[in-house]
Amino acid sequence: MGSIGPWQIVLIVAVILLLFGGRKIPELMRGLGRGVKEFKDATQADDEKSSKGERIED
């Protein structure tokens, strides 16, 4: 198993375009970005709580 080359990246991008279409991709990326941002905010909030000595509930 070697590293991913440029032809493999082109193939992956082509398959994604065929599956989702050009109009859906920006929507998907926007949603992914929001999810990552929410995850980072939640982990930072948990870190702040734990550094203050507050109990974190699940």
Query: What distance lies between CA 43 and its chain's CA centroid?
Result: 15
pLDDT exceeding 70 applies to what percent of the chain?
86
Confidence of residue 30 (pLDDT cuts 50, 70, 90): very high
Q: Could you tell me the two tokens for 42? A: 């939640």
CA distances in angstroms from 38 to 31, 43, 52, listed in the order given: 11, 9, 21
In the prediction, which pLDDT does 37 show? Answer: 95
Alpha-carbon distance 48 to 52, whole Å? 6
**pTM of the model as a whole:** 0.52
